[in-house]
Amino acid sequence: MFIYQILFERAVWPQAEKEALLRDADFFIRSLRSNGQLVSRNDVFLFLDNAVSLHVQCLKKDSLEERYNSDYVNQWITVLMERYGVTVSYHYLGEHLVSVPTAEVDASSSFILYWGGSSPVRSGDTFDQIPLYHLPYTSVWQRNYEDINSWSTNYAEIDGLWFRGSLGERQFHNFLSDINSPLTTQGRGICNRLEQLTGKPSYYYLFNADNSKESAHHCPSCGGEWRLESKLLAKFDLKCDHCRLVSNQLGIKHQE
């Protein structure tokens, strides 16, 4: 993780414009986050003498370079400049104590869509996270990653409800683990698009808390054998290349 200070600089800040500026600056920050250029979540804007300051975190040191900007990021920069006369600048502060390994698209032979972490797209070779902005736009017509961000948000909310277990555990567990659930269907659709765009196999991680022998041997989509002889990436026990699924299961013992 790499820490930056973002400054919105202007010589004079009229009191009447501050609220509107913060609103539009927030939209700008959201556009960076949706593009994968920012991964921090708790935004605290501070008014200084001639600037508004915000500290953010990025997966890579060069994440904020202009070449990675989406159309939406550039549009919001233009809005801030033309509407408020603001100059937007980034200032590198240092590296976070917690290091997050990343992978390159070209160096990855496959991908895994996996919720959790700063990016939901992982390398199928190392399981390292891949910043979204390195991938082709998966929402092709909108030229963004709204489908991935929507799936990730949905997954987080459902996982939280399931984990707390106060609103009916089975219902939310099924959303995460059922091959035909809307969440799984949404995620597998993203994997299909990612594979079409990159030409590389793209797998969906299917949550599995079922310790039955049936789930350990047969893919829930095609019914084929999907148990691995040894763990994949020291994490996955189950894999179906035909259906582009990976999963894990407690209690499986592999050959040493």
pLDDT in tens, 177-215: 999 999 999 999 999 999 999 999 999 999 986 655 566
The crossing angle, in degrees rounded to 10, of helices 146-164 and 169-177 is 150
Domains of the chain (ranges; CATH) run 2-95 (3.30.70.600), 111-247 (no CATH)
Percent of the chain with pLDDT over 90: 75
Contacts of 251 (CB under 8 A, 6+ apart): 211
Q: Which of helix, strand or coil describes residue 98?
A: coil
When pLDDT is cut at 50, 70 and 90, the band that residue 255 belongs to is very low
Query: Could you tell me if 7 and 25 are in contact, meaning their C-beta atoms sit under 8 angstroms apart?
Result: no
When pLDDT is cut at 50, 70 and 90, the band that residue 253 belongs to is low
Pairwise CA distance, residues 84 & 29, whole Å: 16
pLDDT for the residue 174: 87
User: With 60 as the cut, is the pLDDT of residue 65 above it?
Assistant: yes
Q: Which of helix, strand or coil describes residue 6?
A: strand
Average pLDDT value for the chain: 91
pLDDT in tens, 12-46: 888 888 899 999 999 999 999 999 999 998 889 99
User: With 70 as the cut, is the pLDDT of residue 83 above it?
Assistant: yes
Pairwise CA distance, residues 38 & 254, whole Å: 39
The mean pLDDT value for 144-155 works out to 96
pLDDT in tens, 120-135: 999 999 999 999 999 9
pLDDT for the residue 147: 96
pLDDT for the residue 142: 82
User: With 90 as the cut, is the pLDDT of residue 172 above it?
Assistant: no
pLDDT in tens, 209-239: 665 556 678 999 999 999 999 999 999 999 9
Q: Where are the beta strands (DSSP E) in the chain?
A: 2-9, 46-47, 51-58, 87-95, 111-113, 121-123, 202-205, 227-232, 236-240, 245-247
- More confident call, 173 vs 60: 60
User: With 70 as the cut, is the pLDDT of residue 256 above it?
Assistant: no
pLDDT in tens, 137-147: 998 778 899 99
